[in-house]
Structure 1
Amino acid sequence: MPTLADLSEPESFAHGRVTWRSGAGVCLLTLTNPPANGYSYEMMRDLDEAVLRARMDTAVEVIVLAGASEKFFCAGADIGMLDRLDPDFKYAFCLHANETLLRLEHTPKLVVAALGGHCVGGGLEVAMAADLRWARADSGKCGLPEVALGVLPGTGGTQRLSRIVGKSRSIAMMASGELVGYARAQELGLVDEVIAADDDASFLDAVLDRIGAFLRPGHSSTSVGLIKRAVQTGWELPLEAGLALERELQARLFASDDAKEGLAAFVEKRPARFEGK
């Protein structure tokens, strides 16, 4: 199972708002904008580049998103930045953020958001673009409180929250600006797992330990990636179109070395060793 010690030293992208560490099949992307990791255009530019790099890197099987703070995964958009910008730039900023999170959502690799500290506003919108959200117990709250600023959650919040917790519940949460602890978020289905840990380092090690279950050679990351693609792309399609997509992705897997290995290992009653091919 991978640990933080297995990952490379942090390296920053052009604007210094996201750092990259990788190793043992994992890529750790850390949002870095003290004190609350508020996201800006510069952070989204860095995240966009990081997602593309992870997508193209065949050694990366799972992407982990984290925040560079004990207190915050991400406190949302940098309000000072938004206050200074004109409406046209704000619109283009939201559009680029939408495109970046869609790119993350459609990358055929498992994405886990490791929520240590508060995850509110745009921070939760980033986390909701991940496939799984694992939170450090009692480390903070999450929610979309943009109504207090006279705006709406404009980086996918209205769309993704409603798909995760349901229409009426999402409207109630956003209209009231309700913030909930991670135990309640798990009850709502907004968080998939709550992990007890003393600090962020031990929390991330626990996250990486769990991620080991999705990595080669014991697990086919290729299958995981295409399962994700089938769900993410097929979710809004009519059933017959979704089934057609599923068949095409299955055909790709049947032609892969991983499928041949998995079927042979089952017949031969031995553990499979997948290579992601």
Structure 2
Amino acid sequence: MTTTSERTLVNYAVTDGVAVIELSNAPANTYSYEMMRQLDEAILQARFDENAHVIVIRGAGERFFCAGAEISMLNSVSPTYKYYFCLHANETLTRLEQTPKLVIAALNGHTVGGGLEIALACDIRIARRGAGQVGLPEINLGVLPGTGGTQRMARALPKNKAIEYMTEGKLMSFEEAQDLGLINYIYDSEGYWEKVLEYAKTFCPPNKASRTVGRIKRSVQSGSEVAFSEALAIERELQQLCFQSEDAKEGISAYIEKRKERNFTGR
């Protein structure tokens, strides 16, 4: 994923059907254009990887999922560079959001600024209890959350709450974020990563029809951005793909035969 002149800032590995994408830039896993480019490549790799049924994104270490963009980098480059940096970051996170595989954000530490923007582009967010805070405090730098933050936060929260948190630059605990619906689950610190992987594997064959999981995700993500009639058309086309799958045949047969177990294959 890198040239010989680049550091490895994003690690990619697949185990038991779960593709793990790890942001790795100590101490806070902040991102530059180089990291975003590597993240973009990892997302594409996971898309094409037939052994990857679910994607999990995490931060290296114990303290940070990601603290956003490197401020020192932003301070040293031209406004034109910053524009294209933000444009590419938006394209990368949109690619993640539109990938037809479930994406889980493992919030193992502080998730602020662009780190929360990455997490908001994921489908399910699981935090580690007591490990940090979340928020979009870019207002304190005199800029707005420019990697999709203003749009995804306003779709995840009531508009007035989204504006409140972004304009006041407030950080919130994982528990508060869960109450608002930004976080799905909070797992205890002990055994946190193992529990995240265990949860991710529940969406892999033979437990779930993983391609159908991905199509549900695509139907929601794409359908929510268009008119209702067009959204229904997207749903119908994705349903037709499901009907043609081996997993639909297995699921329907198991129901008819009154079998509790399903042997899904992801095909």
* TM norm structure 1: 0.93
Are 2:180 and 1:191 equivalent residues in the alignment? no
Question: Contact 2:56 / 2:200 at 8 angstroms: preserved in 1?
Answer: no
CA contact (8 A) 1:266 1:272 kept: no
Q: Offset at 1:13?
A: 4.2
Matched residue type, 2:220 = V
Could you say what secondary structure the match of 2:202 adopts?
Answer: helix
For residues 224 and 267 of structure 1, the distance between their equivalents in structure 2, rounded to whole angstroms, comes to 22
Runs (4 or more) in structure 1 with deviation over 6 Å come to none
Query: Aligned pair 1:58/2:50, yes or no?
Result: yes
* Counterparts of 2:167 and 2:151, CA distance in 1: 14
Q: How many residues align?
A: 263
Q: Hey, what does 1:81 align to over in structure 2?
A: 73
Which residue of structure 1 lines up, in the alignment, with residue 216 of structure 2?
227
Matches within 5 A, 1:36-75: 36-75=28-67
Distance of 2:193 and 2:89 partners within structure 1: 26
TM-score normalised by structure 2 residue count: 0.97
Per the alignment, residue 93 of structure 1 pairs with 85
- Corresponding residue for 1:216? 205
Does structure 1 conserve the Cα–Cα contact (< 8 Å) formed by 2:18 and 2:201?
Answer: no
**Matching residue within 161, 168, 171 for 2:160:** 168
Question: CA contact under 8 A between 1:28 and 1:64: conserved in structure 2?
Answer: yes
1-structure distance, mates of 2:266, 2:108: 31
Tell me, in whole angstroms, the C-alpha distance in 2 between the residues paired with 1:241 and 1:76: 35
Q: Which residue of 1 aligns with 2:266?
A: 276
SS in 2 for 1:27: strand
In 2, are the aligned partners of 1:44 and 1:100 still within 8 Å (CA)?
Answer: yes
Report the 3-state secondary structure (helix = DSSP H, G, I; strand = E; otherwise coil) of the residue aligned with 2:20.
Answer: strand
User: Aligned partners of 1:40, 1:117: CA distance in 2, in Å?
Assistant: 19
- Distance apart, 1:150 and its partner CA: 0.4
Partner of residue 5, structure 1: none
Partner amino acid, structure 2, of 1:174: M
Read off the aligned partner of 1:77 and give its amino acid letter: A
Unpaired runs of 5+ residues, structure 2, are none
Q: Residue 212 of structure 1: CA displacement?
A: 2.2
Paired residue for 1:182?
174
Residue identity over aligned pairs, in percent, reads 52
Aligned-residue RMSD, C-alpha:
0.9
